[in-house]
C-alpha cells in the first residue's frame, strides 16, 4: 500500500516515515510540508535518518493525496481539516492523529468520512486503547461514589491541553457512567473553586521535559483509590499504530473508524 505522510518533517512525521519503512506491505508514496518550509525539496527518508529514497518533500498536498492509497496526518487542526477534504476528493484513506480539534473541525472530519475510510484516534497505541476499554468498564462497575480524575503529562513542546488521549479517557469514563462528558467535565481549577461537584470528571495537565505521554485515570472514594496508568516511552509507538491503521483501511467502506476497530477491541 502506498502511504503518504503530510507534515513529514515534524516530530511525529519523521517517526511515521520510519514506521512506513519498517512495516511490511507499506511503501512511502511521499511527504508534504507547509508552503515556505525549509524542508520542501528535501528527501523525507533522509530527514527520518534513513537512506535516500529519491523522493522530495512537496508543498502540493493534493498531488500527494493523488499518489497515495492512504495518508497519515499528524500536523495541526486547520491543516487536518484541509487534508480531510482532499482525502474525500481523491478517495484516499486518511489517518488523522492531530489532536486539539474543535467541534466544527471535528464535524468536517465526519463529513469527509461519508466519502472515504478515516481512522481517527487520539492515541494509536495498543495500550491506551486497552486502557480506554478498562476505564469504561471500571466507571460502569464503580458507580458515582468514586470521583474520577484524569491526569496527564507530556513534553514541553505540546501545544494543546488536556491531551487528546486524556479527553478520550474522560469520554470512556463518561460512557461507562452513562453521562455526557461535556456536562460534567472540569478542565481547569484555579483560585477559590469551592468543593468538588459530585459526578464531575476532572482533568489535570502537567508539561515538562521530553515526556512522551503519561496518563492516569484515578477513581477515588472515601476509603480507597484505584489508579489505571499508561506510560509511553517511545513516540515510535504511535507511528507504528498509525501505519497499522493505514494498512487496515484497504478495502474498507467509507466511515469514521477508531483504533478500537483496527485492534478488534469492540
Residues that bind ligand NAD (CB under 6 A): 6-7, 9-13, 32-34, 37, 61, 74-76, 79, 97-100, 121-124, 238
The H or E element that residue 139 is part of is helix 126-142
Nearer to ligand NAD, 121 or 184 (CB): 121
d(CA 257, CA 264): 11
**Least distance to ligand NAD from the beta carbon of 224, Å?**
32
Q: Is 183 an active-site residue?
A: no
Residue from 85, 115, 155, 158 carrying the catalytic annotation: 158
d(CA 133, CA 237): 19
**Least distance to ligand NAD from the beta carbon of 114, Å?**
22
| Cα–Cα nearest to 5, from 75, 54, 52 | 75
**Least distance to ligand NAD from the beta carbon of 188, Å?**
19
Nearer to ligand NAD, 37 or 42 (CB): 37
**Least distance to ligand NAD from the beta carbon of 248, Å?**
15
Phi, psi for 260 (deg, rounded to 5): -65, -35
What are the cell numbers at 252?
A: 474498507
Nearer to ligand NAD, 96 or 146 (CB): 96
Beta bridge partner(s), residue 255: 117
Residue from 18, 83, 90, 154 carrying the catalytic annotation: 154
Q: Is 154 an active-site residue?
A: yes
218, with CB counted inside 10 A (0-12, 13-18, 19+), is: middle
Nearer to ligand NAD, 10 or 179 (CB): 10
How far apart, in Å, are the Cα atoms of 28 and each of 100, 101, 111, 130?
27, 27, 27, 29
Q: Which residues are catalytic?
A: 154, 158
Amino acid at each position: 500500500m502506498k502511504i503518504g505522510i503530510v507534515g513529514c518533517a515534524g516530530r511525529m512525521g519523521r517517526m511515521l516515515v520510519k514506521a512506513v519503512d519498517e512495516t511490511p506491505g507499506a511503501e512511502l508514496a511521499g511527504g508534504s510540508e507547509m508552503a515556505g518550509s525549509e524542508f520542501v525539496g528535501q528527501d523525507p527518508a533522509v530527514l527520518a535518518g534513513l537512506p535516500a529514497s529519491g523522493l522530495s518533500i512537496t508543498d502540493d498536498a493534493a498531488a500527494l493525496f493523488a499518489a497515495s492509497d492512504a495518508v497519515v496526518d499528524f500536523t495541526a487542526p486547520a491543516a487536518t481539516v484541509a487534508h480531510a477534504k482532499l482525502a474525500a476528493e481523491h478517495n484516499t484513506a486518511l489517518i488523522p492523529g492531530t489532536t486539539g480539534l474543535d467541534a466544527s473541525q471535528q464535524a468536517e472530519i465526519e463529513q469527509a468520512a461519508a466519502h472515504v475510510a478515516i481512522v481517527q484516534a487520539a492515541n494509536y497505541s495498543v495500550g491506551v486503547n486497552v486502557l480506554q476499554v478498562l476505564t469504561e468498564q471500571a466507571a460502569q462497575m464503580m458507580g458515582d461514589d468514586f470521583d474520577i480524575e484524569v491526569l496527564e503529562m507530556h513534553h514541553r513542546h505540546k501545544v494543546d491541553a488536556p491531551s487528546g488521549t486524556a479527553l478520550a479517557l474522560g469520554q470512556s469514563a463518561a460512557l461507562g457512567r452513562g453521562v455526557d462528558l461535556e456536562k460534567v467535565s472540569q478542565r481547569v481549577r484555579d483560585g477559590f473553586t469551592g468543593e468538588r461537584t459530585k459526578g464531575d470528571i476532572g482533568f489535570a495537565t502537567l508539561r515538562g521535559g521530553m515526556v512522551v505521554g503519561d496518563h492516569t485515570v484515578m477513581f477515588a472514594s472515601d476509603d480507597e483509590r484505584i489508579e489505571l496508568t499508561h506510560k509511553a516511552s517511545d513516540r515510535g509507538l504511535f507511528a507504528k499504530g498509525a501505519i497499522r491503521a493505514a494498512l487496515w483501511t484497504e478495502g474498507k467502506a467509507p466511515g469514521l473508524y477508531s483504533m478500537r476497530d483496527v485492534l478488534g477491541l469492540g
